[in-house]
């Protein structure tokens, strides 16, 4: 599948690597495709990775992963052009630095994913890959057990496609329902961040699912 990843930082790079390993074509859409950082990452990823402007990367992709800072989301979506019918996977978290550290800028009655949907009418928005650290996206398994990824979105087909991509990355994937479930999944990201930054767990842990 042709996948565009808007943002080639920690999250974009980790997901790009895993998706390419699963056989997908990945094009990173970034403000400066020729920049040193992006070019160094491309050399590491190998010949099947490419970089282009956001507009170029989004143009041919069926699935677009949004992996920019939250504040860059409106610009990235605007540059992405016609998003009608495309699947946008929202990997971002609407974070800001508050008096007590990082905090979500919204919740309970809306979510970042729903704001993305408002900015891209006609696209199928799916929330995923936001709720764990990028190093868990590079390697989702711990001692043979896969960590969990919750996925939500209003379009069942788009959600199924993203669930398949999440499985390909290596997560045990749970279809959690409609897009408003992002109101629950974004605070889960905040819990992971809180634990990673304030406890001895650091970044070397992930959430997993047990079943009876
Ligand atoms: N880090 C994590 O563990 C983690 C985990 C889950 C979710 N998230 C979320 O994922 C998102 C990305 O996080 P990250 O840690 O990967 O950030 P990052 O390492 O800072 O990378 C951000 C990327 O976005 C690019 N970018 C900035 N403005 C852009 C624009 N207008 N259009 C296209 N690309 C643009 C940056 O390019 P330049 O370098 O050229 O500015 C960079 O490649 C954030 O919303 C974050 O909350 C992060």
Ordered by start, the domain boundaries in the chain are 2-198
Going by pLDDT thresholds of 50, 70 and 90, the confidence category of residue 145 is very high
User: Cα(12) to centroid of ligand 1, in Å?
Assistant: 7
Cα 96 to ligand 1 centroid, rounded to whole Å = 14
**Distances from the Cα of 91 to the Cαs of 5, 36, 70, 114, 169, in angstroms?**
10, 24, 10, 13, 14
Measured by CA distance, the residue closest to atom 15 of ligand 1 is 10
Beta carbon of 32 within 6 Å of any ligand 1 atom: yes
Indicate left, alpha or beta for 147 from its phi (over 0: left) and psi (-120 to 50: alpha).
Answer: beta
pLDDT in tens, 52-85: 999 999 999 999 999 999 999 999 999 999 999 9
Whether pLDDT at 143 is above 90: yes
More confident position, 76 or 100: 76
Look up the pTM and report it: 0.98
* CA angle, residues 29, 15, 87, in degrees to nearest 5: 60
Q: How much is the pLDDT for 72?
A: 98
State mean pLDDT over 148-164: 98
The pLDDT of residue 159 is 98
- What CATH topology corresponds to 2-198? Rossmann fold (3.40.50)
């Amino acid at each position: 599948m042709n996948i565009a990843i808007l943002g080639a930082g920690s999250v974009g790079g980790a997901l790009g690597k895993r998706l390419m390993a699963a056989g997908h074509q990945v094009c990173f859409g970034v403000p400066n495709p020729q920049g040193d950082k992006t070019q160094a990452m491309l050399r590491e990823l190998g010949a099947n990775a490419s970089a282009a402007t956001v507009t170029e990367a989004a143009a041919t992709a069926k699935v677009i992963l949004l992996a920019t800072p939250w504040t860059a989301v409106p610009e990235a979506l605007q540059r992405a052009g016609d998003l009608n019918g495309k699947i946008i996977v929202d990997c971002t978290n609407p974070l800001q630095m508050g008096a007590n550290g990082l905090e979500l800028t919204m919740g309970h009655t809306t979510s970042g994913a729903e704001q993305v949907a408002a900015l891209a009418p006609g696209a199928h928005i799916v929330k995923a890959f936001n709720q764990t650290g990028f190093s868990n996206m590079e390697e989702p398994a711990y001692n043979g057990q896969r960590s969990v990824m919750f996925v939500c979105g209003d379009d069942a087909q788009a959600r199924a496609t993203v669930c398949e991509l999440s499985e390909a990355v290596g997560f045990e994937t749970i279809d959690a329902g409609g897009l408003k479930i992002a109101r629950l999944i974004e605070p889960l990201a905040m819990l992971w961040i809180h634990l990673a930054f304030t406890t001895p767990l650091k970044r070397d842990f992930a959430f997993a699912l047990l079943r009876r």
